């Protein structure tokens, strides 16, 4: 997706050989026009899949997931990373080790919002080693819902998550795949 790749090149900052900072348009300040285009792109790709809900994880998955939800006309559920006083219903939970924060969180979703007849698109901002996506897939499994695929804004193709998921037969659609962040250079995978 060219608009996204342009934003990554112009506004992304390489923090190390495996971490990219995109606070200027996705992780802190949010570019609404870019998010709208991202939503349209995911909706186009998954429009035939019969999706009834999108599942993401707070906080940076919410913006792209919401825009996709608007385009597909389906609700967006986000897994919470911390226990909330209002999240007291029966919960679906799984553990996620955060690549950037180096801590393990128990993520949770109320059983009320994911049901057996739901058809789910899992979404997130980044895909690195696949921990966050796997945690969300575990929640889909516990709910007895059907997973149709995974929508990722930025995949770091040099980390194992995406390829492992694809090898297991999971449909993973990433709008930009980065092959390398070496030497402060962002190199995209050719489409």
8 near ligand 5GP, rule: CB under 6 A: no
31 near ligand 5GP, rule: CB under 6 A: no
SS3 label, residue 98: coil
Task: Name the CA dihedral angle for 15, 7, 81, 149, rounded to a multiple of 10 degrees.
Answer: -120
Nearest-angstrom CA–CA distance, 153 and 89: 31
130 near ligand 5GP, rule: CB under 6 A: yes
Q: Least distance to ligand 5GP from the beta carbon of 18, Å?
A: 7
Kind and range of the H or E element at 89? none
56 near ligand 5GP, rule: CB under 6 A: no
In terms of CB distance, is 20 or 51 closer to ligand 5GP? 20
User: Which pair of structure tokens corresponds to residue 37?
Assistant: 């285009």
Nearest-angstrom CA–CA distance, 66 and 151: 12
Sketch the per residue contact string, 81 through 120, with ligand 5GP: x for CB under 6 A, - otherwise.
Answer: -----------------xxx--------------------
Binding site for ligand 5GP (CB under 6 A): 19-22, 27, 60, 98-100, 124-132, 161
């Amino acid at each position: 997706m060219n608009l996204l790749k342009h934003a990554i090149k112009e506004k992304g900052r390489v923090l190390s050989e495996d971490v990219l900072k995109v606070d200027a348009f996705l992780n802190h300040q949010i570019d609404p026009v870019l998010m709208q285009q991202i939503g349209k792109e995911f909706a186009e790709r998954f429009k035939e899949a019969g999706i009834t809900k999108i599942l993401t994880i707070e906080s940076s998955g919410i913006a792209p997931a919401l825009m996709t939800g608007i385009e597909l006309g389906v609700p967006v559920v986000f897994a919470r990373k911390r226990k909330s006083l209002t999240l007291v219903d029966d919960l679906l939970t799984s553990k996620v080790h955060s690549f950037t924060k180096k801590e393990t969180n128990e993520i949770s979703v109320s059983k009320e919002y994911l049901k057996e007849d739901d058809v789910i698109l899992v979404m997130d901002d980044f895909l690195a080693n696949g921990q966050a996506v796997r945690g969300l897939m575990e929640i889909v499994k516990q709910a007895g819902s059907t997973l149709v695929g995974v929508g990722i804004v930025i995949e770091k193709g040099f980390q194992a998550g995406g390829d492992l998921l694809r090898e297991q037969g999971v449909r993973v659609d990433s709008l930009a795949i980065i092959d390398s962040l070496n030497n402060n250079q962002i190199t995209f995978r050719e489409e």
